[in-house]
Chains A and B, each alone.
Chain A
């Protein structure tokens, strides 16, 4: 293989995220997903003569919020441009976008790679634009069917510099951006419904070469896995073309998830010239320092900051922090539980194990989880106090508690007869305590001084106030020593 020894891949991504607004970018049509075809439309969406667009202030806020979170420079003065092209999914004959004055410039998204390294993926810009309608092409029909529900939906397009150098890094970047928009409430990030999708610009160049190779654009990738597959396919295709001295054509390609291959678009139209110019129908937008400060103040949680906090403040392993911080509500739940207990790692174990298991099995969100933070902390405490082991608690107590979330954790455990005075686990703990408080004698016993057994048994009797099964205690003692 000529890759990766001979060539380096250069990837730039364009991510479209649909903003979480009630109404479209420039008019009052609903943004609700799943409506009947051509139900969320108005004269503005259909570009009837004499209609005028007016900017949705919430969309402006959400775009600015995203830019602030990505350390972008926020434009203080901007206008909208018309991107002109004729296509049936675009009734006006142009798309309203921001070409010359994007709301956000520069910035970066920190991406943690598999080896733990953090790369700052540089952004070119984030701009506001409207979505186009949906064309449906069926094999048998002579016509294409057009649904304008999606036309005019508010989008931000997040554009990276060509600084990504592997398909895994690209997928990780997308993961981070999606997590961020969801944390910020900027977009629901729903990839199945198309509210989060990605175009990838991919080119190869000889290692050490400065100039970029000829790039190919893959449109509308709608899952992390497909982004990775499409890039890997292109690396294979382009490297074998380069090896065979074939010319790579700059083109737009489609990815077929079924075959895992990319192919040239079947569009009839190839000549494009968007002839951007300022849209005279929309007023320029000026953003004040105060306005930006209110947006900034509204940003509560940035996922990578939260993740770092879980590691630094609560001492969680990075892996745990990554899993918990996948979802903002989960992170908030964790933060609430640790208000009631200091055993942070135990909380993480509960969340990553039984809690996530329950949510997956029942297809529920953490916000719908029956146990309050206090109750989960109760479980942690019960195990910490030696009443029963984590495995017994998760197997036998967690399920019944979820069904009776109002019940007292300890009472329920007692009702279920899960707690015993001489519970093996508790006794094990006492045995190991006794051994570690007499290290010299323990060492001698370990070396065969059998008569010390009596002394240890006496110590155990004392600590358990006589409530112990001598046979079991002796067994445990010998087990601990071996």
Chain B
């Protein structure tokens, strides 16, 4: 399957990513290659095979309802591009 411009634009938009024309061309090519490679799997007959949800054989990995160590706020905010000591600050998300 070829990833066309519309599909690409939609995915880029949903991911909040912007591309120049050349970058977009290159990305579309790479995505098409990835999809084609994965499409190979379609050749397998999966009739009657339950969809695989996880690679692990573990089930019911649960934790007890207890509080655990938190991240100190100053440390947490340190990695934020912008903060004011209390809040993470992001470009305004409503008009």
Contacts and interface: CB of A to CB of B under 8 A. Distances in A.
Are A and B co-members of a single complex? yes
A280 B66 CA distance: 24
Contacts of A280: 53-55
A478 interface: no
B93 interface: yes
Given A271-B13, A284-B54, A56 B62 contact: yes
A55 B65 CA distance: 9
B9 to A, nearest CB: 11
A144 B61 contact: no
A29 B88 contact: no
A285 B86 contact: no
A143 B93 CA distance: 8
Given A41-B70, A144-B89, A59 B16 contact: no
B65 A54 contact: no
Report the contact-size class of chain B (Cβ under 8 Å from the partner).
35 or more
A252 to B, nearest CB: 13
A99 interface: no
Given A143-B89, A286-B60, A85 B94 contact: no
A36 to B, nearest CB: 7
Contacts of A273: 10, 14
Contacts of A85: 14
A466 B65 CA distance: 71
Interface stretch (B22-30, B31-39, B40-48, B71-79): B71-79
B90 A38 contact: no
A42 B15 CA distance: 24
Q: Which of B54, B65, B91 has the most CB of A within 10 A?
A: B65
Contacts of B49: none
A278 B53 CA distance: 6
B6 interface: no
B59 A143 contact: no
A167 interface: no
Given A29-B70, A30-B67, A85-B14, A146 B62 contact: no
Contacts of A141: 92
Contacts of B92: 137, 141-144
Given A30-B70, A79-B53, A283-B56, A143 B91 contact: yes
B67 A23 contact: yes
B59 A38 contact: no
Interface string A21-51: 1110001111000001111111101100000
A46 B71 contact: yes
Nearest to A145: B87
Interface string A425-443: 0000000000000000000
Contacts of B54: 79, 278, 280, 282-284
Nearest to A154: B65
Contact of B65 (A21, A41, A88): A21
Contact of B86 (A37, A60, A142, A144): A37
B68 interface: yes
Contact of A87 (B59, B67, B93): B93
A135 interface: yes
Contact of B67 (A22, A45, A60): A22
A-B CB proximity, top 4 nearest: A28-B68, A58-B65, A145-B87, A143-B89
Interface of B: 10, 13-16, 53-56, 58-71, 73, 76-77, 82, 84, 86-95
Given A145-B89, A267-B94, A278-B53, 9 more contacts: A22-B65, A22-B66, A29-B68, A42-B71, A56-B65, A137-B93, A273-B14, A285-B62, A286-B59
